[in-house]
Amino acid sequence: MGFFPFYIFLEVSVVMVCASVTSTEQAKLSTPRNIYMNSSNMKHYLHWDPILNDEGTVKYSVRVQGEYERIQNTDWTYVDICQSITAHWCNVTEEIATNVQYELQVRAEVGSQKSDWAKLGQLFNRNASILTPPAVKFHSLGQALTLKIEYLGRNFVYFVFYWKKGAEEKVVSKKMNRGDTIFHLENVEGGYEYCAQVIAHAVPISRNSSKSTVVCATATGSGLSSLTIGLISLFGIIVGLVFLYAFLRYLVLVMRYSCCPQGKIPETLKEPFSSQKIIRHHFLEDCEKITSIEPSHQMTCEVTAQDYSDKTQFL
């Protein structure tokens, strides 16, 4: 009889343990599924399928581990902008900073419940990013032709190829500065149609996109060269400044004579005076002064002569 109560106790304990395990499994969230990377033009987005849950809003967190950290088995880098987010995608462009293999993982969260980490099916290297050609538009203003290129990010430079329609064998190629998206065609002749194509070059991975679609535009205008137009503009600016100076001077004179009207000047004051004449009179006066002392000099000479004659007689 003593064995029977123990058997019942053991059976109840097993049932409770199984129920506890079952409840724990039910409480644990399922991991995100169908994880994949969408990488285009050096912008990397991790995607996954959303999880449906009746207990609350499901949030997600993402972490990344580089090749060195994976080999050394060190800590993961948690993506700051992708912690407890409701979206089912994450921009990991800033974390994928070098050309090495990265492992990426994501997990689901509802309150205190958290799923296991689910990882991307294979390691990701940004060299695998798909490069698409940029969109290109022509802007024509008179004879000037400007090419506007789609901005793909700071990691790109653009190579521009343009030619005059009908002379495709004379293609002009130019490399733009990093970050520039506006290109002005050089040596364009008015009345002719020009066409252009662009290639985007991803600097960090040293790869080129395919060529963009060909766009064409006609340069209208008088056919003057850029140098001629620049000289004409400069001449116009100088003439404008001269007229502005003349107008301001005239305005100052008008205001001065309006505030201080000119009175009648005596006839004696109307005679023009010359500084040269004044200087001449000044020198004449000095010469007269010098002449006035000559008699004294003659007297000195006469006295000296007389003294000499006296001395001669004495001898």
In the chain (315 residues long), the average pLDDT of successive 10-residue segments reads 50 48 56 96 96 90 93 90 96 95 96 93 95 92 86 95 90 92 88 92 96 91 65 91 91 77 64 54 51 51 48 46
Strands (E), 66-177: 77-78, 89-91, 103-110, 113-114, 118-119, 136-141, 144-149, 156-164, 172-175
Query: What is the C-alpha to C-alpha distance for residues 139 and 184, in angstroms, rounded to an integer?
Result: 10
Please give the DSSP secondary-structure letter assigned to residue 126. G
The 10 Å Cβ neighbour count of residue 123 is 14
Query: What is the C-alpha to C-alpha distance for residues 84 and 282, in angstroms, rounded to an integer?
Result: 101
Rounded (10°) CA dihedral 305, 306, 308, 314: 170
Pick among 2.30.30.60, 2.60.40.10, 3.90.1150.10, 3.40.50.10470: CATH of 136-223: 2.60.40.10
Rounded (10°) CA dihedral 17, 18, 22, 25: 60
The 10 Å Cβ neighbour count of residue 44 is 22
Instruction: Residue 187: name the closest of 200, 170, 199, 202 by CA.
Output: 170
Question: Domain spanning 22-128: which superfamily?
Answer: Immunoglobulins (2.60.40.10)
Q: In Å, how far are 17, 33, 108, 116, 119 from 30, measured between CA atoms? A: 22, 9, 8, 8, 13
pTM for this entry: 0.61
Q: In Å, how far are 152, 156, 205 from 208, measured between CA atoms? A: 13, 9, 9
Q: In Å, how far are 152, 184, 284 from 293, measured between CA atoms? A: 99, 86, 15
∠ Cα 10 12 15 (to 5°): 110
Query: What is the C-alpha to C-alpha distance for residues 19 and 12, in angstroms, rounded to an integer?
Result: 11
- As beta bridge partners, residue 114 has 109
Please give the DSSP secondary-structure letter assigned to residue 242. H
Buried b (16+ CB within 10 A) or exposed e, 49-86: eebeeeeeebbbbbbbbbeeeeeeeeebeebeebeeee
CB-CB contact of 49 with 88 (8 Å): yes
Single-letter code of the amino acid located at 65: Q
The 10 Å Cβ neighbour count of residue 159 is 16
> CB-based contacts of 245: which residues, under 8 Å, 6+ apart?
none
**pLDDT at residue number 140:** 81
Query: What is the C-alpha to C-alpha distance for residues 258 and 273, in angstroms, rounded to an integer?
Result: 28
Query: What is the C-alpha to C-alpha distance for residues 34 and 214, in angstroms, rounded to an integer?
Result: 38
Instruction: Determine the 3-state secondary structure of 286 from DSSP.
Output: helix
Burial-class residue 218 by CB neighbours within 10 Å (0-12, 13-18, 19+): middle
Instruction: Residue 35: name the closest of 25, 27, 43, 45 by CA.
Output: 45
